[in-house]
């Protein structure tokens, strides 16, 4: 396994990211070493909130929330998944699978021997974090999830599977605009719209992660700024664009070249949206586990996330620990609620931990 490590200088002078790095070296199934980075902030004796990120971001996503949570007496642990942030980056597509990420982060969890954890998982941070709880339930006290899921769709027809396969294999690579428009359409429940995201990510070798995050989140940018910034990117001059923002630079920082981007490119294709997915059996067992999970479980989803809107309903219905909790719908929280509504989601986390008893 070839493993890349982003040079430390790529992270110099990041705005609002003053946190000391912590590193843990885990072994892969093949015996390779992967160094995983995490932030550890706040009082060492405070309740621990494990903040897990998704794709294509990293722990920088939590920079606004960390001071809010630590000022409330919480200890924040925020890792970077392998392939992201300051963690090492396996360099081949076949290195990445849903199960690999669960295994890697499970070993990281064991080596750090964290206990009494409160999970906050969003996007892939929920998909992976929820599976960590299944494997190591005694380490967790509470769960808060936002804009995520535990995909399990054994009923998808062969016709839909073939349509998605044909699209992935034969359609032209969608543009960034086409992909964004498709994600907002209503047929995503069949896996067709999400396939646009999967195809765009994998077939765009130098996926413009910094530009994407800037365009998603910095709505004060004019149309012309976005167009000119994208023009510089398409000409291979992204580092020279006068229109790059601090936020865009920060989300691009872990990826000094396209060879470092295999993780964010590969991971969307690992979301188990179809009934022939290799993760299907593990997802089934996970849902069987959560059907009996009685520890406090809270959903705080956005009302305007086109990818996960409505996914909270099954958790609220099925998980015993979710009964009679004060589940919240965050207005205009977007997909990256940590960026859009950091104060609101932090307050939800703090109040939930304070108001729910911890098992002895």
350 secondary structure, DSSP code: H
* 22 within 8 A of 38, measured Cβ to Cβ: yes
Annotated catalytic, 38? no
One of 95, 123, 229, 277 is an active-site residue; which one? Answer: 123
- Listed in sequence order, the DSSP H helices in the chain are 65-71, 98-112, 124-135, 158-170, 176-183, 192-203, 209-217, 223-234, 246-252, 262-266, 280-290, 312-318, 337-340, 342-355
Q: Could you give the CA distance from residue 174 to residue 196 in angstroms, rounded to a whole number?
A: 7
SS3 content of the chain, % helix, strand, coil (to 5): 45, 15, 40
Give the pair of three-digit tokens for residue 173.
């690579």
One of 95, 229, 305, 312 is an active-site residue; which one? Answer: 305
Q: Could you give the CA distance from residue 4 to residue 261 in angstroms, rounded to a whole number?
A: 10
Nearest to 126 by CA among 298, 252, 11: 298
Nearest to 35 by CA among 76, 6, 57: 6
Give the angle subtended at the CA of 146 by the CAs of 117 and 96, to the nearest 5°.
80
Annotated catalytic, 123? yes
Annotated catalytic, 135? no
Nearest to 59 by CA among 13, 136, 132, 120: 120
* 118 within 8 A of 353, measured Cβ to Cβ: yes
Which residues are catalytically annotated?
123, 305, 335
């Amino acid at each position: 396994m070839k493993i890349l490590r982003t040079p430390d200088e790529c992270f110099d002078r990041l705005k609002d990211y003053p946190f000391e790095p912590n590193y843990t070296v885990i072994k892969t199934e093949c015996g390779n070493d992967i160094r995983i980075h995490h932030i550890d902030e706040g009082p060492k004796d405070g309740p621990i909130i494990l903040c897990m990120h998704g794709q294509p971001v990293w722990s920088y996503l939590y920079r606004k929330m960390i001071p809010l949570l630590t000022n409330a007496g919480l200890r924040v642990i925020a890792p970077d998944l392998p392939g992201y942030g300051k963690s090492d980056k396996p360099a081949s597509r076949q290195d990445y699978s849903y199960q690999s990420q669960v295994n890697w982060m499970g070993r990281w969890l064991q080596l750090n021997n964290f206990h009494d954890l409160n999970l906050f998982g969003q996007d892939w941070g929920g998909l992976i974090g929820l599976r960590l709880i299944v494997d190591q339930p005694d380490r967790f006290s509470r769960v808060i999830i936002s804009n995520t899921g535990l995909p399990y769709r054994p009923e998808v027809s062969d016709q839909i599977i073939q349509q998605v396969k044909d699209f992935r294999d034969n359609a032209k690579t969608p543009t960034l605009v086409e992909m964004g428009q498709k994600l907002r359409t209503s047929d995503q429940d069949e896996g067709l719209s999400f396939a646009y995201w999967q195809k765009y990510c994998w077939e765009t070798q130098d996926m413009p992660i910094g530009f994407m995050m800037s365009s998603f989140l910095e709505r004060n940018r004019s149309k012309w700024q976005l167009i000119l910034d994208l023009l510089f990117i398409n000409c291979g001059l992204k580092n020279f664009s006068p229109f790059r923002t601090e936020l865009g630079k920060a989300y691009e920082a872990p990826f000094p070249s396209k060879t470092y981007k295999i993780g964010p490119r590969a991971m969307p294709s690992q979301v188990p949206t179809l009934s022939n997915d290799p993760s299907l059996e593990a997802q089934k067992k996970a849902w069987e586990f959560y059907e009996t999970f009685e520890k406090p479980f809270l959903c705080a989803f956005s009302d305007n996330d086109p990818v996960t809107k409505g996914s909270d309903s099954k958790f609220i219905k099925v998980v015993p620990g979710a009964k009679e909790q004060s589940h919240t719908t965050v207005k205009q929280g977007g997909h990256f609620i940590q960026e859009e509504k950091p104060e609101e989601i932090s307050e939800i986390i703090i109040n939930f931990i304070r108001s729910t008893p911890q098992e002895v």
